[in-house]
Structure 1
Amino acid sequence: MDIDISIVLMTLVNFFILVLILKHFFWEKIQLTIEERQNYVDEKLIKADEDSQKAKMYLLENQRILQSAKEEGKKITEKQKEKGNKIYQEIIDNANEEAKSLLERAKVEIQREKEKAEYEVKKQAVDLAVQLSIKALEENMDESKHRQLIGDFITKVGM
C-alpha cells in the first residue's frame, strides 16, 4: 500500500482550513454554550448541595422536635399517672373515713341500745320489786311465803 503524500498533505490542509473556518464562525458560540452548560451544571450542583444541607438541617430539627414530643409525652403521662394515683388515694382515704364513721355510728347505736335494754331491765326489776312489796304488804307473810316471793322475783328478773 502506497501512501500518496500529496493526498495526505491536502487532507491536512483541508482539515486546518476547516478548523480555522469553524473557529472563526463557531468557536465562540460553542465556547459560550459550553460555559453556559457548565454554569448551569455548577448551579444545579450548588443547589443540590444546599438542598442536601437543608434536608439534613430539617432532619435534625425533626429529630429534635420528635425527641421533645416524646419527652413531653412522658411528662404528660407521668402527670396523669400521678393524678390518677392521687385520686385513687383520695378515694381510698374517703372510703376509710366513711367506714370509720359508720363504725363509730354503729358503736354509738349499740351503746344506746345497750343502755336502753339496761334501763328496761332496771325498770322491770323496780316494777317487780314494787309489785312484790305490794303483795307482801297485802298479805301477812310468814318466812316460807317470803322466800317463795323472792324466788319468784329472781325467776322473773332472770338472775
Structure 2
Amino acid sequence: MQISLPQIIAAIVNFFVLLAILKVFLYKPVFNMLEARKAEIDQNLSEAERAREEAGELKRQYEVELKEANTKAQAIINEATELGEKNRTDLIAEARAEITRLNERAKADIARETEQAAQRLKAEVANIAIDAAESVLKREVSQAEHEQVLDQFIAEEISAGIAK
C-alpha cells in the first residue's frame, strides 16, 4: 500500500470538511445547549440566593413583629392588671361606703325606735298614773295602802316592760 500525495490531500480535505460539518451540526448545538444549561443553572442559583436573602429578611421582620406583639401583649396584661386592681379598690371603697351608710341608717333607725318606745312608755306610764290616781281618789288611802299601791304599780310596770 502506497500513500500518495493526492490521497493525503484528500484525507486532509475530508478531515476539515468533517470538522466543519461536526462544528456546524454537532459542536455548535451541543455548546449552545451547554451554555443555555449553564445560564439556567446560574439563574437558578441567583434566584435561590435571592430567595434565601428574602427568607432571611422575612425572618428578621417576623422576629421584630413577634417582639412587638410580645411587648404589646405584656402592656395589655399590665394594663388589665392595673385596671382590675383599680376596680377592686373602687369596689372595696364602695362597699365600705355602703356599710357606713347602712350602719348610720341602722343607728338612726335604732335612735328613732328608742325615741318612739320612750314616748309610748311615757304615755303608758301617764295613763297608768292617771288610772292609779283615779283608783286612789275614789277611796281614802292610808299610808300603808299608798305604799302598797305604789309597789303594785311599780311591779306591774316592770312586768309589763319585760313582757314587751
Q: TM-score range by the shorter chain?
A: 0.7 to 0.9
Per-residue deviation, residues 21-57 of structure 1 (Å, max 9, x unmatched): 4675355554444333322222221111111100110
Q: How is 1:32-71 mapped onto 2 (pairs within 5 angstroms)?
A: 32-71=32-71
TM-score, L = length of structure 1: 0.72
Per-residue deviation, residues 59-85 of structure 1 (Å, max 9, x unmatched): 111121122222222222332333333
SS in 2 for 1:158: helix
Amino acid at match of 1:44: N
Question: Percent identical across equivalent pairs?
Answer: 22
Amino acid at match of 1:35: E
Amino acid at match of 2:71: E
CA distance in 2, matches of 1:39, 1:119: 116
Per-residue deviation, residues 87-137 of structure 1 (Å, max 9, x unmatched): 333333333322322222222212211112222222222222223333333
TM-score, L = length of structure 2: 0.70
How many correspondences in the alignment? 147
CA distance in 2, matches of 1:78, 1:154: 72
> Which residue of structure 2 aligns with residue 120 of structure 1?
120
CA distance in 1, matches of 2:62, 2:22: 55
Deviates more, 1:91-100 or 1:62-71: 91-100
Going from structure 1 to structure 2, the CA distance change for 1:139 and 1:48 (only over 3 Å counts) comes to same
SS in 1 for 2:134: helix
- Cα drift, residue 158 of structure 1: 2.0
- After superposition, the CA RMSD in angstroms is 3.0
CA distance in 1, matches of 2:142, 2:100: 59
Amino acid at match of 2:101: S
Q: How is 1:1-159 mapped onto 2 (pairs within 5 angstroms)?
A: 17=15, 20-21=19-20, 24-25=23-24, 26-158=26-158
Runs of at least 4 residues of structure 1 off by over 6 A?
A: none
Q: Where in structure 1 are there 5+ consecutive unaligned residues?
A: 1-5
Q: Where in structure 2 are there 5+ consecutive unaligned residues?
A: 160-164
CA distance in 1, matches of 2:49, 2:113: 94
